Amino acid sequence: AQSVTQPDIHITVSEGASLELRCNYSYGATPYLFWYVQSPGQGLQLLLKYFSGDTLVQGIKGFEAEFKRSQSSFNLRKPSVHWSDAAEYFCAVVPTGGGNKLTFGTGTQLKVEL
């Protein structure tokens, strides 16, 4: 079955430390891949997306993600986390050629310790 998995429900990092949030997908063909961030009580903000081409994608707020076909992964990274990065992070996919209906992962709650 097609699915998106975010293995980590909660992650806590210290401010200034590096961050990696994991995302794996299970689709026959490589889907379109997205990372969104949601602050409490807010909507979702697009951090970055991958459709094709360079597998290392740069996004806003200093985030980047790397698409690895062999691992069916699209992990989100940031070299140095700021306290304001504390939020819920969602990986999402759209099947290639399957319209634009998003399927979300369950989300990862990021806590930043000062």
Residues that bind other proteins (CB under 8 A): 32, 34, 36, 41-46, 49, 51, 90, 94, 100-102, 104-107, 109
Measured from the CB atom, is 28 or 43 closer to other proteins?
A: 43
Measured from the CB atom, is 9 or 114 closer to other proteins?
A: 9
- Least separation in angstroms between residue 101's CB and other proteins is 7
Tokens of 84: 């304001």
Measured from the CB atom, is 80 or 111 closer to other proteins?
A: 111
Measured from the CB atom, is 14 or 55 closer to other proteins?
A: 55
- Least separation in angstroms between residue 18's CB and other proteins is 25
Closest CA to 5 of 110, 93, 70: 93
- Least separation in angstroms between residue 108's CB and other proteins is 11
Query: DSSP E strands: which ranges in the chain?
Result: 3-5, 10-14, 19-21, 24-26, 32-38, 44-50, 56-58, 64-68, 73-78, 87-94, 103-104, 108-113
Burial (0-12, 13-18, 19+ Cβ within 10 Å), 56? exposed
- Least separation in angstroms between residue 60's CB and other proteins is 12
